[in-house]
Chain A
Amino acid sequence: MPAVLGFEGSANKIGVGVVRDGVVLANPRRTYVTPPGTGFLPGATARHHRTVILDLLQEALTEAGLTSKDIDCIAYTKGPGMGAPLVSVAVVARTVAQLWNKPLLGVNHCIGHIEMGRLITGATSPTVLYVSGGNTQVIAYSEHRYRIFGETIDIAVGNCLDRFARVLKISNDPSPGYNIEQMAKRGKKLVELPYTVKGMDVSFSGILSFIEDVTQRMLATGECTPEDLCFSLQETVFAMLVEITERAMAHCGSQEALIVGGVGCNMRLQEMMETMCQERGAQLFATDERFCIDNGAMIAQAGWEMFRAGHTTPLSESGVTQRYRTDEVEVTWRD
């Protein structure tokens, strides 16, 4: 059975993973962390990835106990994501594929999350809440496509949280979202924020603008604490996500919900989703930070499924695309 090596580097995490027969043999990762109050820019992120990727590759092979001869396919993130980091990883994948004489496979990042979530949790056909710094979608599988039932119409929920973290100059280590979560646990007061659900979709840019505007004033007057604001932002945006997920589950008659993506690590989000699922008699699935956060193994796993189904990507078509919709991929590996 094939062993697939996967490269992921669409945002500020760079990971190389090895998967064979549904077993994750290796999954090392590095994160590009910027100073508090700043975000990560494409050029600097790409430079970070270039610096560490070959070491990560060696680390992955060593951890898996494999050599290049044991690898059957090279998978990489084709998109969506940030341009420069995507290109820097794709170039390495193309070169490695040629050096080792292995087929190449471009993988949709979102599908990587879904396939890893399915593998780790064993969920059969869940309604998927995919939430990260770059994407916010509610997805369900139907007739060989992962269909998007609802999504953000502007910024991703993780982007909203990360940018609010910059306002408060919260540390980006290990991630701004994690630090917001810890502060939110100490919040006591709920500050009313705009709640923006539009049918099956959500909007976060207005919430972000509002909270950016009021933060300085409210903190200066002592009306609330930074912890209260973190708590209030989480409660508001997570409630919106739970609402649209429940709406999709009702539409599909689904009894399973799966959370994937970096924001899926958030225990408060998992708690709120669990409450909703229990009320519906449904089951919630979620993974831990090893597989929620962007990682190479998820690309390897999706690549493994695609490779077994006969997919490969010719070198001439192995570019990247910053806008790569989840439903663009024909999911031939599922019934």
Chain B
Amino acid sequence: MQAPGDGSAAGAGGRGGQQSSGTPGCQRRAGSPEGEGGPRRPEARRGPGRGGAAMRGPAAGRRGGRAPRALRRGGGAALAAVRPGRRRLVLNLTVPFRSLLEAHMAHRALIAGAQRDPGVIREEYTVNGSALTIRWTAEDLDLFRISIDSIFDQLSRVIGNIQHLWLPPP
């Protein structure tokens, strides 16, 4: 999993007093090949998708260097809403499905439970081809983790239901 925020958020006590935004394990997996990143969810990997989920953060973050320009403090309108001392955390998760239909089913099943308070944590769902992409944006690391955990649970249930109850047309 791409370390949330930028690639330089390494040890404890990062900038602005924020606690470490990733475990060492997460950092090792930063920018790793598709299907090998982030928290492992067996259901997602065995699911209707072709090989599992891919999780990507902002491209510049993979280099493990300085924060990408857009995320540097004071850089651009995008940071206007970020409170002083806080860092925006972003995670993209792409889950491949066997078909566009299944991706849409998962999309509709998950979006109804999306966060109703986008000011605290934002979840965005899009379907591209037969893949569902979920994008999280937050400032609070704890809420970030809770939301990810919740979505993973729901996603695994949706995939399990599809596997259990439906066979795709030949």
Contacts and interface: CB of A to CB of B under 8 A. Distances in A.
Secondary structure dominating the interface of B = helix
A91 B150 contact: no
A92 B105 contact: no
Contact of A96 (B113, B154, B161): B161
B145 interface: no
Contacts of A54: 160-161, 164-165
Interface string B131-169: 000000000000000000010011001101110111000
A316 B116 CA distance: 12
B162 A99 contact: yes
Interface residues of B, number: 19
A87 B150 contact: yes
Interface residues of A, number: 21
A306 B117 CA distance: 29
A91 B109 contact: yes
Given A315-B108, A319-B113, A88 B157 contact: yes
Given A87-B150, A99-B166, A319-B113, A92 B108 contact: no
A317 interface: yes
Contacts of A317: 112
A318 interface: yes
B111 A91 contact: no
A99 B109 CA distance: 11
A315 B165 contact: no
Given A87-B154, A88-B153, A95 B112 contact: no
10 contacts: A46-B153, A50-B157, A87-B113, A87-B150, A91-B158, A92-B161, A98-B109, A99-B162, A316-B112, A317-B112
Interface of B: 105, 108-113, 116, 150, 153-154, 157-158, 160-162, 164-166
